[in-house]
Amino acid sequence: MFDLLILVAVILGLIAIAKVIQVLELANNVKGTSSYIVSEKDNRTQARLMPVFLISYFAFIIWQVVKWGDEMLPVSASEHGVVIDQLMNITWMIIIPVFILTHIALFYFAWKYAYDKNRKAQFYAHNSKLEMLWTSIPALVLLILILYGLSVWGDVMAPLTEEDDPIEIELYSRQFDWTARYPGEDGVFGKSDVRLIAGVNMLGLDSTDENAWDDKYVKAEFHIPVNRSVQFYFRSQDVIHSAYMPHFRAQMNCVPGMITQFNFKPTITTAEMREITGNPEFAYYLLCNKVCGAAHYNMKMEIIVESEEDYNNWMNEQKEFMEYGKYSFSNEKNDINKEVLAKSTEAETKNSAL
């Protein structure tokens, strides 16, 4: 009912505005003038409003910085995030002065050179030196920023090697939650297939693959050790999601049918960041940064950054997908998995032949 009243009020307001415009047009017709012709008085009024608007505009920006500045992200909690923040700060150092100077010049010219019937504008069609100047300088600045950004991006996206001794984690997305999978003691992820998703096997792990037996997967939260590289692999079950970890300056799309990856080294534990922010309730989060559906806003998973010892203790408490000889799948279940995969592969082969 309240929404209906708002709609009626908006419609009545629009009708009232239209009627006022009609009245003004009738009044101008009586006076023998046209409301569509800009007078000298209108020009002077608009010119005087230009510096007023400029000052108000800058005041509004300053107010927003003061009001919401403390809502910005704290210091980066990853090694590469510090470099990304430096790149962002350099970009701001270039953009902000240009933004201020160009807006001052814009509104100054609008005020200074408002229409005057006693003044004639100079016809100035072309100047090659000026065009070269205002083209080459921005192009040079952008080239430096782009090359610097590509260098940073290349370092961030460089694949980890065995020498880096990374922790490997697969993040599996679906509407509207996350699941994290660790490869277990063998250090190898087991095979998975979306056609095997059923019941507690939410990732579609292949129970006939021994590498999958010791895989561990968790929901609600996942843990990573501080000062150790982490290699992430991203998968999606349904639509495109985006794994976004803002405090680590990390983001990567999760695309159905393919595996994407990202890596970083966390440098600040959850407990340390709580001290830095002065917020005892602070928590790192994995978020979805794609509008993936109705419950997109609630698609998140807590990230716990802790010491290596605490991480190992937590890992030892997590259950394996299947402990061989204790909680193993029956032979019948294994045969079903084989049959499902065989039929799907056969169908794909036929489709390809067609």
Q: Which CATH number fits the domain that encloses residue 214?
A: 2.60.40.420
Does 128 fall in a domain? no
Does 184 fall in a domain? yes
Does 228 fall in a domain? yes
Write the DSSP assignment of 105-166 as a string of letters: HHHHHHHHT---TT---------HHHHHHHHHHHHHHHHHHHHHHHHHHHHHHSPP-GGG--
CB distance 224 to 247 below 8 Å: no
Does 199 fall in a domain? yes
Write the DSSP assignment of 76-102 as a string of letters: -SBHHHHHHHHHHHHHHHHHHHHHHHH
Does 332 fall in a domain? no
pTM reported for the whole predicted model: 0.74
Does 136 fall in a domain? no
As a whole number of angstroms, the distance between CA 14 and CA 21 comes to 11
Does 94 fall in a domain? no
Range of the domain at 213: 164-322
Q: How many domains does the chain have?
A: 1
As a whole number of angstroms, the distance between CA 329 and CA 190 comes to 15
Closest alpha carbon to 227 in 171, 311, 346, 124: 311
CB distance 241 to 252 below 8 Å: no
Does 212 fall in a domain? yes
pLDDT in tens, the chain (354 residues): 778 888 889 999 999 999 888 887 787 777 766 666 777 788 888 899 999 999 999 999 999 999 988 788 888 999 999 999 998 999 999 999 999 999 999 999 999 888 888 888 888 888 888 899 989 999 999 999 899 889 888 888 888 888 888 999 999 999 999 999 999 888 888 888 888 888 778 888 888 888 888 899 898 899 999 999 999 999 999 999 999 999 999 999 999 989 999 999 999 999 999 999 999 999 999 999 999 888 898 899 999 999 999 999 999 988 888 753 344 444 444 444 545 445 444 544 444 444
